[in-house]
Structure 1
Amino acid sequence: MMTQIVFYVFAAVLVLSATMVVSARNPVHSVLFLILAFFNAAGLFLIAGAEFLAMTLVIVYVGAVAVLFLFVVMMLDVNFTHMREGVQRYAPIGGVVGGVLLVELLMAFMHWRSATNIGQIAHLVPSSPTRTNTAALGDVIYTHYIFLFQACALVLLVAMIGAIVLTLRERPTGRRQNIDRQHDRMPAGSLEMLQVPLGAGVDAQGGFLRPHESYDIAAVPGTYGTEAWREAEAREADGTALVIATPATGTKGEGNE
């Protein structure tokens, strides 16, 4: 009786929190309700005797995925008002897709049948009253399905590398150096020794100094901080940069004196 009461409490809170995830206006609140839903789902797994899935849900999804969502939502300056402008326009399409998924779920549950010979099915790992689910899953994954498990890891690695490559952007403020020329530099061309009077400090001498060409010697031409970059910035600030404008054709009043 107590188990049923706990089950219904966890299930009710899970359904309510899942509803609030998609209906909350504040995205931070949505992520917090998502974390609550994960915790209640882990409680349901514990009641069902699947402690490995419960701990995985808490450690992986709550401790990593949901917290990552929360950090991204809180740190990025996302204009959610602009993102919601097209909700009413695409609401009918979303309703149709949701209706199709609901019908599929109802059909699947209506035709759900349990196998009559479930006790006669041969198990890969012999069952034992003293053996936990975690140990049994470890034996299955790392013995019978080790190659498939490693293949899944490789697929995730390729997906991670692809995401990094696709989202990598060239930053104009990055300082790139020519490694060979950097190694060929001598201390005399990189450092400037100063005789600072006692008690005067470095600020009195104009701050930390270095030869003007110390960075330009080893830097890739045109990158941030080089002389060519400074000249281009100065020309752009003075308005002397060359701008090629193509005259418009067929405008109103063309050819009028």
Structure 2
Amino acid sequence: MLNGLEAIFFYLFAFIAVASAFMVISARNPVHSVLYLILTFFNAAGLFLLTGAEFLAMILLVVYVGAVMVLFLFVVMMLDVDFAELKSGALQYAPIGALVGLILAAELIVVLGGYTFAPQLASTVAMPTPDLAVRSNTAALGDILYTDYLYYFQISGLILLVAMIGAIVLTLRHKEGVKRQSIPAQVARNPATAMEIKKVKTGEGI
């Protein structure tokens, strides 16, 4: 249970997060939408801190606010996309969005209702959360991630590496008439090919 001060911060973070999330979809300026989304992430990180999940709060700030949102803001400001034109046909997808929202709400109700009406389910977890006084959340997550799920972690890193190399290869474009540096050609040079001497007749030079 939350004490008085924690309850005040919880409602403060929750109210600002919901309000800023609403402003993300209602703001006309896309730059303002990105800034409101950053504010939403900050308040969500505060909620994670209140629950003792300091690792998730740090990841939310470092990854989403520090990298993803800055990239979104950079792309929006550089490309100057007309979002008003893109949103003009969004209403035709409203039924599909409402259906997906109902499915997600039903899943949340099932999960939360299961723990509410059957509290004994928490005791059936294979690896329960250790006491924070004995082991912090970050250390416990590291124990699980780098022991039981080590191979899955390495495979996910390999997949991200392949995706990054694929994105570089797909976006690389060679333009005609542009001189590029060739490292193998430079390494393979010898004195015979390093310098070329041409004899120019008198009066025919540039």
* TM-score for the superposition, normalised by structure 2: 0.75
Please show how residues 86-235 of structure 1 align to structure 2 within 5 Å: 86-113=89-116, 114-116=118-120, 118=122, 123=127, 127=131, 129-172=133-176, 174-176=178-180, 180=185, 183=189, 184-186=193-195, 188=197
> How far does residue 124 in structure 1 lie from its aligned partner after superposition?
7.9
Cα–Cα, structure 1 residues 94 and 127, in superposed 2: closer, same or farther, change >3 Å? Answer: closer
Gaps of 5+ in 2: 199-204
1:207-256 CA distance string (max 9 Å, x none) = xxxx99xxxxxxxxxxxxxxxxxxxxxxxxxxxxxxxxxxxxxxxxxxxx
- The answer to which structure has the higher helix fraction is 2
Counterpart selection for 1:84 from 83, 87, 95: 87
Shift of 1:111: 4.2
Structure-1 residue corresponding to 2:17: 14
Structure 1 residues 188 and 118 mapped into 2: Cα distance closer, same or farther (>3 Å)?
Answer: same
For the residues of structure 2 that align with 1:125 and 1:186, how far apart are their CA atoms? 70
| Partner of residue 255, structure 1 | none
| Alignment-mate amino acid for residue 43 of structure 2 | N
Q: In 2, distance between residues paired with 1:143 and 1:124?
A: 16
CA contact (8 A) 1:35 1:62 kept: yes
Per the alignment, in what secondary structure is the counterpart of residue 143 of structure 1?
coil
Q: Note the C-alpha offset of 1:89.
A: 3.8
Partner of 1:171, secondary structure, is coil
Decide whether aligned partners of structure 1 residues 120 and 90 sit closer, same or farther in structure 2, where only a CA change above 3 A counts.
closer
Shift of 1:132: 1.9
Q: Give 1:34's aligned amino acid.
A: L
How far apart in 1 are the matches of 2:128 and 2:61? 27
State how many pairs are aligned. Answer: 191
Identity of aligned residues (%): 54
Residues of 1 paired with 2:131 and 2:103: CA distance? 40
Structure 2 CA distance for partners of 1:124 and 1:145, relative to 1, 3 Å: farther
1:96-135: per-residue Cα shift (whole Å, max 9, x none)? Answer: 4434444444454444445416457564896572432212
3-state SS of paired residue (1:49): coil
Aligned match of 1:220:
none
Which of 67, 70, 73 lines up with 1:64 in the alignment?
Answer: 67
Q: Which residue of 2 aligns with 1:247?
A: none
Q: Which residue of 2 aligns with 1:238?
A: none
Is residue 24–residue 36 contact of structure 2 (8 Å, CA) maintained in 1? yes
- Structure 1 match to 2:202: none
Change (3 A) 1:19 1:128: closer
Distance 1:89 1:23 in 2: 17
Residue equivalent to 1:246: none
Q: Distance in 1 between matches of 2:58 and 2:125?
A: 28
Match of 1:55 in 2: 58
Larger Rg: 1
Aligned-residue offset at 1:174: 3.3
Structure showing greater relative contact order (alpha-carbon pairs closer than 8 Å, 6 or more residues apart): 2
